[in-house]
Amino acid sequence: MPTADELIVQTLEEAGVEYVIGIPGGGTGQIYNLLYGKEDRIKTILVRHEQVAAIMADAYGRATGRPAAIMGQGLFMASNATFGIMEAMLSSSPMVVITDTSDGGVAFHAANQSGAGEYGSIDITTILKTMSKYTTLATTPKEAVLGTQLAIKHATSGRPGPACVVMRSAAIGGEVDVESPPFVHNAAGYLNTAKPQSAPQDIQRAIDILSQSQRPVLVAGNGVHMSKSHQQLQELAELWNMPVATSYKGKSAIAETHPLSVGMVGVYGQEAANRSVGEADTVLVVGAKLTPQDTVRERPSIFDPLRQKIIQIDIDDRNAGWTFPVELGLIGDAGSILSQLVEASQPAAANSAAGRKEWADALPQRKQDNSFYDDPEMHRDSSPVTPQRLVALLNENLSADTVFALDAGNNRTWMAHLYQARQANTFFSPGGTAGMGWGLPAAVGLKLVYKDRPVVCVTGDGGYMMTVNALSTAVQYDLPIICVVFNDGALGMVRQHQPEGRRIASEFVTTDNGAVARGFGAFGIQIGDSRDLPDAIRQAQASGLPAVIDVLIDRGPSPDDWRADARRAGET
């Protein structure tokens, strides 16, 4: 009879899982051993910390729509890896978590490193249930196999997310009776489900609302990225000649150089986007939950269901009409529904175009009046480098197809606000837990997908140091990403919100992050003058290595100077 670990590897093959990322430990070492020789089908990536494995898998899942598996010993998967698992849960990224309880067959007695959940041990199953779509505890070998199959199914069905299988030690290597029920079937058969669409009458109702609208606007969110519906979004916008704003996680749902793009809406968004959404009489929201950051804390001058008709498309019916009441919720895959709307828009869009002409004609002037993706500091060289100038130079010196992984803190607000994406589907950002340290491992995970395109992480010196070990993984697996570090020697956002002379726990020791990179065998350089950045980028690209460009940043400029709402007391 086959053993559970053999059938788990077979299940990963059948389901088309391309990567297993993690650190062998506990009972999972048996599964790793069986992956040897299968590198042409399942590639293993050894990381230096389980947090990096989970972040890499999160980014990979966003980019492909398919889950990578992260695998390691129970207690450390349920602690170290949870940073990335939580982000995946809140950002709808498919991921499979394979781990064990490391109980050694003595779950009910005193045990070392046990996560069995019995007296004297940690209950890792409950921990993982709090942050996943699905978590099961397998106590027998057959349950371990079936649990892995179901984890893959749950990770990819409906609204994607992380799904976990936790196995008792005895369940991993034990024999599986495949001749008696419940039977073990080919895992691929559990994944052959069609994407859900909306009912035709609901699509027609949406078309009727748009036809009656004089000032419609689209707000595109992360759901556009997850459904890979960028082309359908653009087609719909062009048919109705309506502006397109995005949420933070929806940034680059459409190229921000497109005439209909008004950029990101919200606290750190473009004023053109906030004004366009605020003046709209109909708001079509696609795959965005509408968080306080997106809505400027539900400011009525931007989103107001009392004067706007809101149509919300979402894969999860709980999300449509969650923040605001809606005129219509369309439940299903964003790509499928956008395709339905495109098909149903003709000839209705053309027949009602006259009523929207004034709105559409005013758009170029509205963008110009609100300094669309412009700031005077973007054009001024200096030493140290202003954040505005750094963003401008990245836009000027990196190709349009560059894929970006953002981080958290001031660095991501400058990038989200001022970097104008020239191609759709080029921005990935942590917007669930939105934690520092996401950007660098995410870039490494994205490079697994975008092997022939530039992948650039933009992070602060705080976030960089939190997951700097990901550079070692990038070097080992020849993944030449570029990491641009906003180095202000501080937790910039925290420091700026502390009074002069009363700063505490916000400033770092002076560090050359380029030298740190060279210690890993990567390319590393530190610059302090904006005039040196173009050449640093060229050197990093020419090196063929993972690269770090450490940029000494002017501490003076603050996102508080332009953000759409005032910072609240106690907010960092």
Number of domains observed in the structure of the chain: 3
**Is the same domain home to 477 and 384?**
yes
Distance CA 75, CA 97 (A): 13
Is residue 53 a contact partner of residue 88, using CB atoms and an 8 Å limit? no
Determine the pLDDT at residue 112: 85
Q: Does residue 333 sit in the same domain as residue 359?
A: yes
Tokens 């942050």, residue?
A: 131
In b/e form, how buried is each residue of 376-390, taking b as 16+ CB within 10 angstroms? Answer: ebbeeeeebbbbbbb
For residue 90, the domain's CATH number is 3.40.50.970
Mean pLDDT of the chain: 96
Shared-domain flag, residues 319 and 398: no
Of 394, 355, 61, the closest CA to residue 228 belongs to: 61
Residue range 391-409: mean pLDDT, rounded: 98
Domain boundary among 312, 337, 369: 369
Q: What angle do CA 489, 485, 47 make, to 5 degrees?
A: 110
Quickly tell me which residue has 């400029």 as its tokens.
Answer: 557
- Asked if residue 168 and residue 281 are part of one domain, the reply reads no
Q: Which residue has the tokens 């349009």?
A: 400
CATH number assigned to the domain comprising residue 254? 3.40.50.1220
Same domain, 339 and 227: yes
Residue 100 lies inside a defined structural domain of this protein = yes
pLDDT greater than 70 at residue 535: yes
The C-alpha atoms of residue 175 and residue 286 are separated, in whole angstroms, by 47
How many Cα neighbours within 13 Å face the side chain of 109? 3
Stretch 523-535: mean pLDDT, rounded? 98
For residue 355, pLDDT over 90 is answered with yes
**444 Cα distance to chain centroid:** 13
pLDDT at position 492, please? Answer: 87
pLDDT digits (tens, 9 = 90+) for 283-329: 999 999 999 999 999 999 999 999 999 999 999 999 999 999 999 99
Task: Look at strands 482-487 and 455-460 and give their pairing.
Answer: parallel
**Same-domain check for residues 147 and 271:** no
pLDDT tens per residue across span 264-288: 999 999 999 999 999 999 999 999 9
Site of tokens 């366009």: 276
> Mean of the pLDDT values across residues 394-408?
98
Sign of CA dihedral 254, 432, 410, 496: positive
In sequence order, what are the residues at sequence separation of 6 or more whose Cβ sits closer than 8 angstroms to the Cβ of residue 88?
54, 57, 58, 61, 94, 95, 161, 162, 432
> With 70 as the cut, is the pLDDT of residue 57 above it?
yes
In a domain, 566, yes or no: no
Tell me if 175 is assigned to some domain.
yes
31 and 180 both lie in a single domain = yes
Say yes or no: 262 and 316 in one domain: yes
Q: Is the pLDDT of residue 233 over 90?
A: yes
With contact defined as beta carbons under 8 Å apart, do 334 and 309 qualify?
no
AA identity, residue 74 = G
The percent of residues above 70 in pLDDT, for the chain, comes to 99
Has residue 240 been placed in a domain? Answer: yes
Same domain, 301 and 210: yes
**208 and 350 belong to one structural domain:** yes
pLDDT tens, position by position, 167-190:
999 999 999 999 999 999 999 999
Which residue, chain included where needed, has tokens 């931007």? 302
Q: What letter does residue 550 receive in the DSSP assignment?
A: E
Rounded CA separation 121/506 (Å): 36
Query: Same structural domain for residues 80 and 159?
Result: yes
Q: Is residue 427 part of a domain?
A: yes
**pLDDT reading at 570 higher than 90:** no
Residue 346 within a domain: yes
Is 132 found in the same domain as 204?
no
Question: Is 513 strand, coil or helix?
Answer: helix
Domain boundary among 165, 190, 215: 190
Locate all alpha helices (DSSP H) within 228-302, ordered by sequence. 230-240, 271-279, 292-295
> Does residue 138 register a pLDDT over 90?
yes
Answer whether 98's CB lies under 8 Å from 148's CB: yes
| Region class of 165: left (phi > 0), else alpha (psi between -120 and 50), else beta | beta
Dump strand ranges (E) for 298-398.
Answer: 309-314, 328-331
Average pLDDT (223-237) is 98
Domain boundary among 351, 369, 387: 369
Convert the pLDDT of each residue in 359-391 to its tens digit. Answer: 999 999 999 999 999 999 999 999 999 999 999
Q: Is 246 left (phi over 0), alpha (psi -120 to 50) or beta?
A: beta
The tokens for 212 are 């009656």
Closest CA to 527 of 519, 515, 541: 515
Q: Is the separation of the CB atoms in 306 and 409 below 8 Å?
A: no
Contact 211, 316 (CB under 8 A): no
Give 183's DSSP letter: P
User: pLDDT confidence of 571, banded at 50, 70, 90?
Assistant: low
Give the domain extent around 210: 200-369
pLDDT of residue 411: 95
In this prediction, residue 567 carries a pLDDT of 65
| Dihedral of the alpha carbons of 252, 257, 261, 262, in degrees to the nearest 10 | 100
Whether residue 568 has pLDDT greater than 70: no
Please give the model's pTM, rounded to 2 decimal places. Answer: 0.97
pLDDT over 70 at 349, yes or no: yes
- Does pLDDT of 514 surpass 80? yes
Q: What is the pLDDT of residue 569?
A: 59
Closest to 189 measured CA to CA, from 153, 158, 165: 153
Residue among 136, 193, 148 nearest 10 (CA) = 148
Do the Cβ atoms of 234 and 224 come closer than 8 Å?
A: no
What is the mean pLDDT of the segment spanning 464-485?
Answer: 98
Is 70 within the bounds of a domain?
yes
Answer whether residue 567 is part of any domain: no
